[in-house]
Every structure is written in C-alpha cells, then in structure tokens.
Copies of this chain bind each other. A is one copy, B any other.
Amino acid sequence: MKLLEDRIVKDGKVKGTQILRVDSFLNHQMDIELFGEMAKEFKRLFEGEGINKILTIEASGIGIACIAAQTFGVPVVFAKKSPSKNLPDNIYSTKVESFTHGNIYDVMVSRQFLNKDDRILIIDDFLANGAALDGLISIVKDAGAHLCGVGIAVEKAFQPGGSRLRESGIRIESLARVASMSEEDGVTFVTE
C-alpha cells in the first residue's frame, strides 16, 4: 500500500538494520485518518470472507483493529498479555516469547468471546518473527474458530515470521513489506 510505504519513508526512523520506529503515526501517536485508509485496504483484501470478528493483541494492535472493524461492521476482541501467574478460568491462553523484551508472557482471550462459529481476521501492527501471531493463531485453533487470514500494517520481510506462516498455509496480507533498511540508505520495500 503506497500510502503507508510513503509514510514510513517520510516519518519512520531507522536504527541500525533491525529497528524501525513508526511511533509518530502507528504505535504511540496514531494517525487515525491513515488508519481509515488502511482499514479500506483490509476490507478490499478480505471482502467476501464472511469475517464476523477481528482479533488483535494489546496494545498497539487495538487502534488499527478498531478502525478496520468499522469497515467490516464487526466487533473486535483483543488478547491480553499477562505475567504468567493467576490466570483466570475460562480462557484460551498460550505462551509467547518476546524478542523485543527478552521475556515470556501469557496471551489470553476469554472463552466467552471466541467459538467454533467465528470467522476470524487477525490484525496487528507489526510482523517480524511472528511470535505474537503464533500465539493468536494458536488461540483461534483452540477455540475451533475459522481463521480467514491475517492483516498486518508493517512486515519486516527480512525476518522469518511472514515466510514461515505463509508456508504453513495461512493467508497473510501486509500493507507494507520492508525488504531491508539501514540508517544510510533508509527503507526499501518488497515489490510484488
């Protein structure tokens, strides 16, 4: 999606070759007008899939998921991150390893809000190693729901998550796919 790629080039901050900061418009300050355009693109991509619920994970996926949910006319469920203690009953949960923070946390969704009749679109802001996404996919499977696909804002395509998950048969649509980046040369994108 050219609009998002252009915005990354304009306002993204590259540190080294691995870190892309997009906190001025995507995951700290959020440009809701941009989210509206991204939502239309998700709708175009997943139209006709019969999606009845969007699943995301706190915190930075929630904004994009909510604006996207408007275009689909469906509710959002956000998975909660929790330190691994005192998990309540009646939840789906799975462990996720954070490469960013170097820890392991539990991700959970109340059983009340996911079931076998659901047709789920997962939405998140970033895809890199895919650990958080693995957790969400595992929860969808546990619930017996149908995973229609995954919508991502920014994929670091030079990290393995996207390729691995696509090879496993999951439909992943990333609005911007970063091929490489460096402080000297900026960001390049995967061209179709």
Where the two chains meet, the residues of A that have a C-beta atom closer than 8 Å to any C-beta of B are 23-25, 28-33, 35-36, 58-59, 62-63, 65-67, 69-70, 73-78, 80, 109-110, 112-113
Contacts and interface: CB of A to CB of B under 8 A. Distances in A.
Closest 5 pairs between A and B when the two form their complex, measured CB to CB: A58-B59, A59-B59, A62-B62, A63-B66, A29-B113
B113 A32 contact: no
A30 B78 contact: yes
A76 B28 CA distance: 8
A30 B66 contact: yes
A131 to B, nearest CB: 18
A80 B109 CA distance: 21
A112 B25 CA distance: 12
A9 B181 CA distance: 52
Given A24-B113, A32-B76, A63-B78, 19 more contacts: A25-B75, A28-B80, A28-B109, A28-B113, A29-B75, A29-B77, A30-B69, A32-B66, A32-B70, A32-B74, A58-B58, A59-B59, A59-B62, A59-B78, A62-B62, A62-B66, A63-B63, A66-B66, A67-B70
